[in-house]
Amino acid sequence: MEIMDGKELAKKIRTNLKEEVEILKSKGIYPKLAVIMVGNDKASAVYVKNKSKACNEVGVTYEEFLLKEDTTMDELLGLIQKLNQDTDIDGILLQSPIPKSLDIEEAFRTIDPKKDVDGFHPVNVGKLSLNQDCFVSCTPYGIIKMLETYHIPIEGVHAVIIGRSNIVGKPLIQCLLNKNATVTICHSKTENLEEVTKQADILIAAIGKPEFVTANMVKTGATVIDVGINRKEDGKLVGDVNFEEVSKKASYITPVPGGVGPMTVAMLMTNVVKAAKNRK
């Protein structure tokens, strides 16, 4: 069994991007990311900090816009439109969740697709499904990058995803399909889940339930990708996969922390640099 080191791979990606950014800067192109956060979600604050650290390391200029919990939709959309027009800004990221009183889908739709480095705008979602050049949602993008780096075959194999969210599960279907995998997607209404997951050559868990995937759900020799980030009552950070059990059965597995999480941030940086190159 081999542990897929997302932390190390993400570091390599950042190092390569740093060199690329230096070249861009010598040509007068200064990549810049704007991050909008609404309210005081604690987990979001940690994610945003990681993104700002990565920008710093890669040489991307980072600007944060912290909006109050009681921000109106008009105020949020007004800020997004302002950032759309700001020629210094290459990428705009709206950190989710935002307060329930606001319509996050409308906010995502308002971001200029050319600056949509999270790949959540319907234009980018549509292009991904047509296998056209676009901004790919960072977590699925990072998962594909990890599979490719570890030379794990995707073409022709059976990939099973648990979780159908717009940010992970659904775009991952397209990413895997574009690489010629046979894809099955499961969710909370799936019957006989274990029977389905046991068929997976590549099993991806994006559920949000601590240690949900147990050894009996996994085929011997499978590659297991754990997207989940869950804080247990004792404060320990765990994924959606029971690492202890499953690692004995899998041939490759991602750890939590240090797997998909850092890759997601590295792919965000990749998308910001791409946006800067596209625009200038």
Examine residue 208 and tell whether it contacts ligand NDP (CB under 6 A): yes
Per-residue burial over 182-212, b if 16 or more Cβ lie within 10 Å, else e, is ebbbbeeeeeebeebbbebbbbbbbbeebbb
Does 127 qualify as catalytic in the annotation? Answer: no
Q: Which helix (H) or strand (E) holds 160?
A: strand 158-162
Identify which of 100, 108, 34, 110 has the alpha carbon closest to the alpha carbon of residue 69. Answer: 100
Rounded to a whole number of angstroms, the distance between the first and last alpha carbons of the chain is: 45
Q: Are 258 and 5 in contact (CB under 8 A)?
A: yes
Residues between 111 and 150 that touch ligand NDP (CB under 6 A) = 139
The minimum distance between CB 263 and ligand NDP, in angstroms, equals: 7
Does 118 qualify as catalytic in the annotation? Answer: yes
The residue type found at 183 is: V
As a three-state string, the secondary structure of 80-133 is HHHHHHCCCCCEEEECCCCCCCCCHHHHHHHCCHHHCCCCCCHHHHHHHHCCCC
5, 32, 95, 240: the catalytic one is 95
Residues between 224 and 253 that touch ligand NDP (CB under 6 A) = 227-230
Does 95 qualify as catalytic in the annotation? Answer: yes
Examine residue 187 and tell whether it contacts ligand NDP (CB under 6 A): yes
Examine residue 167 and tell whether it contacts ligand NDP (CB under 6 A): yes
Q: Which stretch binds ligand NDP (CB under 6 A): 18-26, 59-67, 98-106, 256-264?
A: 256-264
Q: Which residues is 205 bridged to in the sheet?
A: 162, 226
Nearer to ligand NDP, 24 or 265 (CB): 265
Examine residue 186 and tell whether it contacts ligand NDP (CB under 6 A): yes
51, 127, 179, 219: the catalytic one is 51
Q: Which stretch binds ligand NDP (CB under 6 A): 29-37, 60-68, 149-157, 259-267?
A: 259-267
Examine residue 190 and tell whether it contacts ligand NDP (CB under 6 A): yes
Catalytic residues: 51, 95, 118
